[in-house]
Chains A and B, each alone.
Chain A
Amino acid sequence: MSQRTDFKGMLIQSVRKSGRAISRLLPIVIGAILLVSLFNNMIPKSFYITLFKKNVLLDAVIGSVIGSISAGSPLTSYILGGEFLKNGVGIGAVTAFLVAWVTVGMVQLPVEIMILGRRFAIARNSTAFIFAIAIGILTMLIMDLV
């Protein structure tokens, strides 16, 4: 009986916590889709074609740079990445962008340095940047094979 009450309490607490998280996510997602909708109408498809040069390595580096300096929910990166793909950007560049977005934390770098140490934070973020490029290229090659 007590265990059932405990679980019910945990469930209610969890629903509340998740509800709060979703209510924080929704305005960001709505805002991001609204922005993407604007850019989709404003920026011609040729812009993406000129930004990404169809060079696998260079495109992955550009994708990783854009992902590294961007911040926010991964959901925003999915929306943007999906639009990049639709506009002709290669899967390698989009993958590097998505991976860098979630693994390289330029915005929280000062906090990471303060709590976990400068050497660790810089080494972790630098390797994450390089790995985003590697994962972008490898994922593209694997997707071509499977």
Chain B
Amino acid sequence: MKKIGGEWYFLSAVMMIYVVILFVDHDFFSRSIRFFLNVFWQILPIFVLVFALMVVANIFINQKVITKYFKKPGIKKWVFVIVAGILSTGPIYLWYPLLAELRDKGVGHGFLATFLYNRAIKIPLLPVAIFYFGLKYILVLTLMMVVFSVFQGLLINRLVSTKNRCNGV
């Protein structure tokens, strides 16, 4: 039997709240549904674009590619780590084992932190972000996040010694 994901429990719980509200305050229910439909129809077309970008990312970016380029020297490594972080997909915890392996092979903690920071920039989701906040704001924010990811990498390299490699340190 197929396991039901937590996301469906979440949606069911919210829908239950709506069912209760429908009986308690019909007017409040109607206003909320109208607001929901208005927002939902606005963002629905953007989901098609999000899907297309996800397909492209899934074809070209995988853990093998990331591991290969993590070994580049000097400034190239920083550039690669930033790009790899931005392009990497999937839940963050799936990347932890690979990052632990890279750390054990001598990749500095700072590079791992920069990689993780740049994972916050989600190219497939940018159309939605632009829809809500505008292109100018998203460009400024993305640039700021890339710059600060390097600051964080440099800071983490100083704060966390390469000796602290074993689990739980």
Measuring CB to CB, which residues of chain A are less than 8 angstroms from any residue of chain B? 10-11, 13-15, 17-19, 21-22, 24-31, 33-38, 40-42, 74-75, 78-79, 81-82, 85, 91, 95, 98-99, 102-103, 105, 108, 111-120, 123-124, 127-128, 131, 134-135, 138-139, 142-143, 146
Q: Is residue B117 within 8 Å, beta carbon to beta carbon, of the partner chain?
A: yes
Beyond A18-B51, A18-B54, A134-B148, 9 extra complex contacts between A and B, CB < 8 Å: A14-B56, A15-B55, A22-B47, A25-B7, A115-B167, A117-B169, A118-B168, A127-B156, A135-B145
Shortest Cβ gap from B155 to chain A (Å): 6
CB-CB < 8 A to A81: which residues of B? 132-133
Once A111-B93, A135-B148 are accepted as A-B contacts, the answer to whether A37 and B109 lie under 8 Å apart by CB is no
Which of B17, B40, B132 is close to A78, meaning CB atoms less than 8 Å apart?
B132
Determine the distance from Cα of A41 to Cα of B18 in the docked complex, in whole angstroms. 13
CB-CB < 8 A to B31: which residues of A? 41
CB-CB < 8 A to B5: which residues of A? 24, 27
Shortest Cβ gap from B76 to chain A (Å): 23
Determine the distance from Cα of A75 to Cα of B136 in the docked complex, in whole angstroms. 19
Q: Report how many A-B pairs have Cβ atoms within 8 Å.
A: 175
Once A105-B92, A116-B100, A142-B140 are accepted as A-B contacts, the answer to whether A22 and B54 lie under 8 Å apart by CB is yes
- Pair A37/B92 contact, Cβ less than 8 Å: no
Label chain A's interface by main secondary structure: helix
- Pair A22/B51 contact, Cβ less than 8 Å: yes
Determine the distance from Cα of A82 to Cα of B59 in the docked complex, in whole angstroms. 31
- Pair B140/A124 contact, Cβ less than 8 Å: no
- Pair A38/B136 contact, Cβ less than 8 Å: no
- How many residues does chain B have at the interface if contact means C-beta atoms less than 8 Å apart? 68
- Pair A117/B167 contact, Cβ less than 8 Å: yes
Supply 20 A–B pairs (Cβ within 8 Å), ascending by A: A11-B55, A14-B56, A18-B54, A22-B51, A34-B18, A37-B33, A41-B32, A74-B120, A103-B120, A108-B92, A111-B96, A114-B167, A115-B100, A124-B156, A128-B117, A131-B151, A135-B148, A139-B141, A142-B140, A142-B144
Measuring CB to CB, which residues of chain B are less than 8 angstroms from any residue of chain A? 5, 7-8, 10-11, 13-15, 17-18, 21, 28, 31-33, 35-36, 39-40, 43, 47, 50-51, 54-56, 58-59, 89, 92-93, 96-97, 99-100, 103, 109, 112-113, 116-117, 119-120, 122, 125, 128-129, 132-133, 136-137, 140-141, 144-145, 148, 151-152, 155-156, 159-160, 164-169
